[in-house]
Amino acid sequence: MPIAALVPVVVAAIAWIAFCEWDLSRSEVQHMPRWAWALVIVASVPLGGILWLTVGRADE
């Protein structure tokens, strides 16, 4: 498998993590501390970000 085929996937994953971490820094959190959400987002791509966006943010 050529490495060039993985570049779009890696770029998309980095963009997803960056967006979720940016949103985490600007939102109120619930269920876990902010640092724990940051670890979940980075450790479990894309599921961590999906969990953050669906259940981690507090209703504003």
Q: Give the tens place of pLDDT for each residue, 12-51.
A: 999 999 999 999 999 999 999 999 999 999 999 999 999 9
How many separate domains does the chain show?
A: 1
15 vs 9: CA distance, rounded Å: 10
* pLDDT for position 1: 67
**Is position 40 within any domain?**
yes
Q: pLDDT-derived band of residue 59, with 50, 70 and 90 as boundaries?
A: confident
Burial of 11 (0-12, 13-18, 19+ CB in 10 A): exposed
Classify residue 46: in a domain, yes or no. yes
Q: Which residues contact 31 (CB under 8 A, 6 or more apart)?
A: 55, 56
Is there a domain that residue 38 lies in? Answer: yes
Whether 36 maps to a domain, the answer reads yes
pTM listed for this prediction = 0.89
